[in-house]
Chains A and B, each alone.
Chain A
Amino acid sequence: MEEVHLIKSLQNGDENAYRIAIELYGNMVYHTSLSIIQNTEDAQDISQDVFVEVFQSIGKFEQKSSLKTWIYRITVTKTLDEVKRAKSKKRGSLFTRVFKNKEERSIPDIPHFDHPGVQLEQKETAAILFFAIEKLPDKQRIAFTLHKVEQLSYQEIADIMKLSLSSVESLLFRAKKNLQLLLETYYTENK
C-alpha cells in the first residue's frame, strides 16, 4: 500500500490500515524506544502509546514530512518524556533511600542493559556502551542512538529532531567525545 493511501485509510479509522502501520513501523518504534529507555517493559508501553497517538492524531498530520519521520518524532518525544519521568522518580527516591536498609536499596549504578539485538560476543561491551549512552545529555543521546542503532543518516536525524544538518553533526561529534571520556573513566575505574 502506498503511503498516501495508508494515511487516508488511517484517517478513515480503517482497522486493516492500523494493522499495516504496525507491521511496517512496530519494530522500528519498539527498537528505537528500547535503545533509548533501555527497559523492555517501558519500551512496550511506549510503543503502545506511540501508536495510540499516531492513530488518534493522524487527522492532524500535515504531511510536511514522511509518515515514518512523523512516527519517529512521536516515538522520540514519548520516550524522552518517560526518561524524564523516570529520572525525577529516581531523584525523589534518593530521599526515601536514606531511610531504607542497605539491602532494600536499589541496584548499584553498573552496566545492566542486555539489548536483545546485540550479537552474543558483543553483549558485555555493548552493555558498557549503553551504560555510557544513558549518561549523555538528552539531545546527544537521541542523535547518537538514531545514528548508531537505527543507522539513520544525518539528514533523517535532522528531520526527526527538527534541527539543521550542522547541528546534528555537532551533536554527534560531542556525543562521541563525551562517550570516549565516559568510557575512559569507566575502564580506568574498573581495571
Chain B
Amino acid sequence: MKSQDLHTKIEQTLQSIDHIERAAANPFLLTRVLEKMKKPVRIILRPKLIWQVAASLLLVLGLNIGIGWYSSNKKTNKVQSSENGYFTNHIYNY
C-alpha cells in the first residue's frame, strides 16, 4: 500500500508541469539586445583558456629548443666527421 502511495506521488509530481504557462521575456529585450550588439566584442580570458595558451606556448618553445639542439648536434657531428676525413685523407694520401 505504501509503495502504491509513493508511486502515485511520483506520478503526480511528474504531471505537475503538464499545464505550465509560458513565462514572459523581459519587455525591454529588444533594447538590451540592440545595446549588446553595439558594444565592441570583449575577449574573456578564462583560466582554462590561459592554461591552454600557456601549454601551447611551452610546447612550441620546447619543440624549438629540441630542434635547435638536434640540428646543432648534427652540425658538430658533421664537422667532426669531416675533420676525421681530412685527417684520414691527410694521413693516407701522401
B interface residues, how many (CB within 8 angstroms): 24
Tell me which of A102-110, A124-132, A155-163, A166-174 binds B: A124-132
Question: Chain A's nearest CB lies how many Å from the CB of B37?
Answer: 6
Are B29 and A48 in contact, CB atoms less than 8 angstroms apart? Answer: yes
- A119 / chain B contacts, CB cutoff of 8 Å: 19-21
Q: Given A125-B13, A183-B10, A183-B14, does the pair A27, B33 have CB atoms closer than 8 Å?
A: no
Are A118 and B17 in contact, CB atoms less than 8 angstroms apart? Answer: yes
CA distance A26 to B23 in the complex (A): 10
Main SS of the interface on chain A?
Answer: helix
Among residues of B, the one whose C-beta sits closest to the C-beta of A25 is B25
Give the residue among A19, A29, A129 with the most B Cβ atoms within 10 A. A129
CA distance A14 to B34 in the complex (A): 12
Where the two chains meet, the residues of B that have a C-beta atom closer than 8 Å to any C-beta of A are 6, 9-10, 12-14, 16-26, 29-30, 32-34, 36-37
Known: A44-B25, A122-B17. 13 other contacts (CB 8 A): A27-B25, A28-B22, A30-B24, A31-B23, A44-B26, A48-B29, A126-B16, A128-B16, A130-B17, A176-B14, A183-B13, A183-B14, A184-B6
